[in-house]
Amino acid sequence: MNIAIVHDWLTNFGGSERCVESFLDLYPDAPLYTTIWDQKEVRQFADAQIITSFLQKFPGSKKHHAFYLNLMPMAFERFDFSDYDVVLSSSHACSKGIITLPETVHICYCYTPTRYLWDFWHNYINNPSYFGIFNFLVRLLAPFAATYLRTWDRAAAERVDYFIAISEFVAQRIKKYYRRDSAVIYPPVDVDAFQISATHDDYFLFISRLVPYKKADLVIEAFNELNLPLKIAGDGPEYSKLKRLAKKNNIEFLGKISEKDKSDLMSRCQAFIFPPEEDFGIAPVEAMAAGRPVIALGKGGALETVVKDVTGVFFAEQNAELLRETVRTFRPDVYDPKVIRTHAQKFSREAFKHNISAFIHAKTAEKKTAPHAYHNR
């Protein structure tokens, strides 16, 4: 089976890039197509056969790829996949829009319908933290580009033979915006990097990139009125603003931390705080892999990873008072770390690779026996 892998861009290493790592583990000889690769920031793919687009040579593309979004449809459509039996696109933006031959199986592992075009559009446009000094210019020009991109994005979804969503929550949105059905395979979490600690400390923990939708401000507002220690780890454009928001010395900012420090902090916290509405949410699963319970917003992907009163507890809305009351009544000793970690194992990297491989083989065989049924609707 001759297979190619496609990813939107490689300018930072996050959850979607961890999926690409697993795809390459499964298919080490597969070339990896992408629009832009920042070799200094994303060194994990140095041994892979990476094929970039014409955008790779555009000025500033590695640091400001968002300014070239209007050209990305063209970039993906120019790639030639005529020699491949299977193409696996890894997409949260434009990579699903590749063009393949009728006999080629195109499977899209979809992290989300393109959020800045659909349900997250107003958040991106109206929040200055996303674009800094360029926010005024983006707000002026983006609506014109977005109309074209939405039309293209909807048409691009028609080119996919089979969709895989990272959660039931995302599957519902694929159905809403693309009118396509999808299977669900949860993304991989490096469960083995986390271990249960023999003891835990008295602090609560929040780890995230500090951008508006992660809702660190909500956590700080809640803990400003609590006489309980909170550790905040992570960096981002909201860092200075959030430090000013913290009124009491019970809130400690740790900045950017190493993976080893993250594992240690998670294993010893009373609970991990998770307030955003995420498509999946890897951090809560990492905390559970360390045997610690999660206090999560009862929406989005957390509803599929956290088990109420077994691996954590939910608060209903993104409201500081609701979070505050949930923390006040939280009792960490009623949770069994071994039970929590066992639950996290279902999201392991090994489980992910097994499920992806089985899906690809099944759909390749299915298309061979039904060569004219190009869409699984």
Instruction: Look at residue 66 in the predicted model and tell me its pLDDT.
Output: 79
Instruction: Look at residue 148 in the predicted model and tell me its pLDDT.
Output: 78
Sole residue written with tokens 């992290």: 111
Residues 6+ apart with CB under 8 A from 107: 86, 87, 88, 89, 160, 161, 162, 163, 164, 359, 360, 363
Q: How far is CA 91 from CA 107, 114, 132, 210, 273, in A?
A: 10, 8, 26, 23, 28
Instruction: Look at residue 374 in the predicted model and tell me its pLDDT.
Output: 47
- Convert the pLDDT of each residue in 187-228 to its tens digit: 999 999 999 999 999 999 999 999 888 999 999 999 999 989
Torsion 335-337-339-341 (CA) sign: positive
CB-CB neighbours of 36 under 10 Å: 23
Say if residues 113 and 174 touch (Cβ distance below 8 Å): yes
- AA identity, residue 237: P
Residue ranges and CATH numbers for the domains of the chain are 3-188+349-369 (3.40.50), 191-346 (3.40.50.2000)
Sole residue written with tokens 């959020």: 115
Which helix (H) or strand (E) element contains residue 141? helix 135-157
DSSP string of 350-372, one letter each residue: HHHHHHHHHHHHHHHHHHHHSTT
Q: What is the mean pLDDT of the chain?
A: 91
Give pLDDT tens digits along the chain (377 positions): 899 999 999 998 988 999 999 999 999 999 999 999 999 999 999 999 999 999 999 999 998 887 788 899 999 999 999 999 999 999 999 999 999 999 999 999 999 998 776 566 556 656 655 555 555 556 665 666 677 788 999 999 999 999 999 999 999 999 999 999 999 999 999 999 999 999 999 999 999 999 888 999 999 999 999 989 999 999 998 999 999 999 889 999 999 999 999 999 999 999 999 999 999 999 999 999 999 999 999 999 999 999 999 999 999 999 999 999 999 999 999 999 999 999 999 999 999 999 999 999 999 988 777 655 444 44
| Number of Cα atoms under 13 Å in the Cβ half of residue 210 | 22
